[in-house]
C-alpha cells in the first residue's frame, strides 16, 4: 500500500447535490485543512458551472491520472467522464445516472491500476439511480460487486462509520426494520466481526482490536424475556468470535453501550441494524463522521451525509465530513491507521 501514488480518486456524486461544490471547496481549503492531493472524476463543464454560480475562483485542469498529483498545487485535477452530467443544483436528472455510475467504476479502476491510492465517493441520489435501472441498494453494495469483479471471489462489504470518538458497524444495512430479525444470523455477525477485526488491524493499525456486540432487543433481551434473538443468534456469534481469538463482548444493551465510559472499552461497536449504528455516531460527530467500507481490496471512504438537494448550489454545505474522508482515505491507504 505504501507504494501507491499520493493521490486519491474523488467522485462527483449526485450532480444536482452538494458533491460538486464540496469537491471545489475541498480544493480551495487544501492548505489550511491539510487536504491530501486528489483528482475529481466529473464532467468538467458541471464543475465549471458550479464554481461560476458560487463565484469561486477554482482553476480546473483536465489531466491524465498520472499527472494529477503534480497539478494539484495550482489547479483542481479533473479526469473527464465520457457521460455528461448537466443537472442544475437541486434538480436531479435521470439522464445523469450514467455519469454517476461511471465515476464510481472509474475510481475503482484507477486504484486497481495503481493510478490512485484510494476511492472517496461523494453522496449519490439512489432514487434517481433506481429510475435509471441501478440494481444495488446503495454505494456499499455496488462497491462490493465491483470488488467481486476485481478479485473473482465473493466479497462481503461492511459499512463502518468512523468518527474521532466512536466507530460503529451495522451488521444489516439498507433493509426495512421489519426484515432485520429474519436477516440476522449468527454466521453474518461472525463474518462481519472477522472483517472488522481484520481491517482494524490492517488498515487502522490496531494490533488487538476490541469489538463490542450490541444486542438486538431492548436490554439485550434480558435473558430471553424480551425476545429470544440475543440468546439464540447474537450470543453464539460472540462466543464464536472469541473462540477465533477475537476480543469480542456482548450482547450488550444498546441503550448503555455508547456512553463515554463504555466507549473506552472497545475499538468498534457491531450493531444489529442501520439506525442502531448510525444514530449514536451521528449524534456525537455529525460533521466529522466518515463512512468507510471494509472488506474490500481497496480503501473507500465517503462523507457521512446525503446529497442535500435542498441547499445545493448555495455554497453553505459544510465540507468537514468530506475533508475528513479525504484525509482518512490517504492515511488508511498508507497503512497508518487513524
Total-model pTM: 0.90
Using CA atoms, how far apart are residues 68 and 265, in angstroms rounded to an integer?
Answer: 42
302 close to 291: Cβ distance less than 8 angstroms:
yes
Residues 6 or more apart from 95 whose CB is under 8 A from it? 86, 132
Burial of 11 (0-12, 13-18, 19+ CB in 10 A): buried
Q: What is the pLDDT of residue 2?
A: 41
Using CA atoms, how far apart are residues 291 and 337, in angstroms rounded to an integer?
Answer: 15
**Listed residue (268, 273, 224, 216) closest to 246, CA to CA:** 268
Q: Check: CATH 3.40.190.10 for 159-291?
A: no
Q: What is the pLDDT of residue 4?
A: 44
Using CA atoms, how far apart are residues 195 and 26, in angstroms rounded to an integer?
Answer: 31
Instruction: Using only the alpha carbons of the chain, give its radius of gyration.
Output: 20
Ordered by start, the domain boundaries in the chain are 1-157+296-338, 159-291
Identical fold for domains 1-157+296-338 and 159-291, yes or no, is yes
CATH classification of 1-157+296-338, choosing from 2.40.50.140, 3.20.20.100, 3.40.718.10, 3.30.450.90? 3.40.718.10
Residue 114, all three cell numbers: 495503481
Residue 246, all three cell numbers: 477475537
- Ordered per-residue pLDDT tens for the chain, 338 residues: 344 457 999 999 999 999 999 999 999 999 999 999 999 999 999 999 999 999 999 999 999 998 999 999 999 999 999 999 999 999 999 899 999 999 999 999 999 999 999 999 999 888 777 877 778 877 888 899 899 999 999 999 999 999 989 999 999 988 899 999 999 999 999 999 999 999 999 999 999 999 999 999 999 989 999 999 999 999 999 999 999 999 999 999 999 999 999 999 999 999 999 999 999 999 998 888 899 999 999 999 999 888 999 999 999 999 999 999 999 999 999 854 44
Q: What is the pLDDT of residue 337?
A: 47
34 close to 323: Cβ distance less than 8 angstroms:
no
SS3 category, 75: coil
DSSP secondary structure string for all residues of 168-204? EEESS-SS-GGGHHHH--HHHHHHHHHHHHHHHHHTT
Amino acid at each position: 500500500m505504501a507504494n501507491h501514488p499520493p493521490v486519491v480518486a474523488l467522485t462527483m456524486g449526485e450532480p444536482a447535490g452538494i458533491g460538486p461544490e464540496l469537491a471545489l471547496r475541498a480544493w480551495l481549503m487544501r492548505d489550511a485543512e491539510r487536504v491530501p492531493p486528489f483528482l475529481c472524476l466529473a464532467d468538467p463543464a458541471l464543475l465549471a458551472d458550479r464554481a461560476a454560480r458560487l463565484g469561486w475562483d477554482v482553476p480546473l485542469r483536465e489531466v491524465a491520472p498520472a499527472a494529477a498529483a503534480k497539478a494539484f498545487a495550482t489547479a483542481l485535477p479533473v479526469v473527464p467522464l465520457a457521460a455528461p452530467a448537466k443537472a442544475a443544483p437541486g434538480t436531479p436528472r435521470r439522464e445523469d445516472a450514467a455519469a454517476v455510475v461511471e465515476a464510481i467504476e472509474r475510481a475503482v479502476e484507477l486504484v486497481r491500476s495503481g493510478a490512485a491510492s484510494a476511492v472517496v465517493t461523494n453522496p449519490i441520489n439512489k432514487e434517481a439511480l433506481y429510475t435509471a435501472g441501478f440494481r444495488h441498494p446503495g454505494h456499499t453494495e455496488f462497491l462490493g460487486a465491483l470488488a467481486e469483479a476485481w478479485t473473482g471471489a465473493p466479497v462481503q462489504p461492511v459499512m463502518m462509520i468512523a468518527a474521532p470518538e466512536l466507530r460503529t458497524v451495522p451488521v444489516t444495512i439498507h433493509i426495512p426494520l421489519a426484515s432485520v430479525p429474519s436477516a440476522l444470523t449468527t454466521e453474518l455477525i461472525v463474518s462481519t466481526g472477522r472483517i472488522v477485526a481484520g481491517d482494524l488491524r490492517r488498515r487502522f493499525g490496531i494490533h488487538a482490536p476490541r469489538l463490542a456486540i450490541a444486542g438486538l432487543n431492548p436490554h439485550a433481551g434480558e435473558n430471553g424475556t424480551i425476545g429470544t434473538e440475543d440468546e439464540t443468534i447474537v450470543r453464539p456469534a460472540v462466543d464464536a468470535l472469541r473462540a477465533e481469538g477475537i476480543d469480542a463482548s456482548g450482547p450488550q444493551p444498546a441503550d448503555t453501550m455508547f456512553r463515554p465510559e463504555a466507549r473506552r472499552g472497545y475499538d468498534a461497536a457491531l450493531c444489529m441494524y442501520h439506525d442502531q449504528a448510525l444514530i449514536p455516531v451521528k449524534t456525537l460527530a455529525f460533521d466529522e463522521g466518515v463512512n468507510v467500507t471494509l472488506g474490500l481490496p481497496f480503501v473507500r471512504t465517503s462523507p457521512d451525509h446525503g446529497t442535500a438537494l435542498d441547499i445545493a448550489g448555495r455554497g453553505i454545505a459544510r465540507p468537514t465530513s468530506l475533508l475528513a474522508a479525504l484525509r482518512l482515505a490517504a492515511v488508511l491507504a498508507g497503512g497508518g491507521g487513524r
